[in-house]
Amino acid sequence: MTPSVTPPPADYARLRAQLDTLATEAFRPELAEIDRLPTLDIAKIMNGEDATVPAAVAAELPRIAAAIDATAERMARGGRLVYAGAGTAGRLGILDASECPPTFNTAPTEVVGLIAGGPPAMVTAVEGAEDSKELAAADLDALDLRAEDTVVGISASGRTPYAIGAVEHARAAGALTIGLSCNPDSALAAASEHGIEVVVGPELLTGSTRLKAGTAQKLVLNMLSTITMIRLGKTYGNLMVDVRASNEKLRARSRRIVALATGAADAEIEAALAATGGEVKNAILVILGGVDGPAAARLLAESGGHLRAALHASMA
């Protein structure tokens, strides 16, 4: 039975006091007249604000790297990467998850995004959904959460019940937990094994955390998924050798990747791709390792999909 998402009667004075303590919710009196400025001036201010985000991310790089290594170790054992958040945070998780299949040839079930309120919440706010820890637990149970999985709770404030409930439920199940927030000393970080707090400060528009906080979350999620996939052998150098060629642009990119990796002539590239069913990684191994298509598939399977290891084995 799906738990109710109707919030209980709220102590609004208490909630307001909580918001007053959050850096991301702070009011900036120096911007109180921003609506009276010329458009170019507003754009310059906003651009200057955005420029501070990478430095805030840089301060968390050791914690980000540790979370990535732990995630890659779980995924190498068959685990999944699951993002869970509400509102903007949930949408960013779904966006990152949806980019993994075409970029890294992952199955849609390997990297998953959950948003409080379900798919309708991608475009319409679902009243009370973010306030329910129980809803987060039910969403994870629907995925048949396992100990090999990694759950990333995402919340700009670091206090969203849905995100906290997700990591609490996942941790109780033995899964790896990561909490990504944009305020210091957050409840989300405290509930997680790996707390990442990218403190970006007050927003240009008071409380509009789709701005700097959203940018910071996007940058960190880029790192989490991309570097995890690098660790899992989904790339060869900086080439996307597991790219899924699902349209003409990606088929052209596949040929270009094989060319960049091997320096082979067009005819040899076409023959290698034909021999491997269009699989970029396999085609590169055919050319550089001097093996046929079936041998390339076997070597890659034996190396856990790592092209460099398969190449080394082909030359042994």
Q: Which of 49, 60, 110, 130 is catalytic?
A: 130
Q: Is 203 a catalytic residue?
A: no
Angle at alpha carbon of residue 245, lines to 240 and 248, rounded to 5° = 120
Q: Which of 99, 134, 268, 270 is catalytic?
A: 99
Length of the chain: 316
> Would you call 224 helix, strand, or coil by DSSP?
helix
282, 262 Cβ separation under 8 angstroms: no
Phi/psi at 176 (5° precision)? -75, 140
Beta strands at 81-85 and 111-115: parallel, antiparallel or unpaired: parallel
Element housing 197 (H / E): strand 194-197
Q: What torsion do the CA atoms of 128, 130, 131, 132 make, to the nearest 10 degrees? A: 100
Q: In DSSP terms, which residues pair with 150 in a beta bridge?
A: 81, 176
CB-count burial class (<10 Å; 0-12, 13-18, 19+) for 13: exposed
Q: Is 99 a catalytic residue?
A: yes
As a whole number of angstroms, the distance between CA 16 and CA 120 comes to: 28
Task: Provide the annotated active-site residues.
Answer: 99, 130
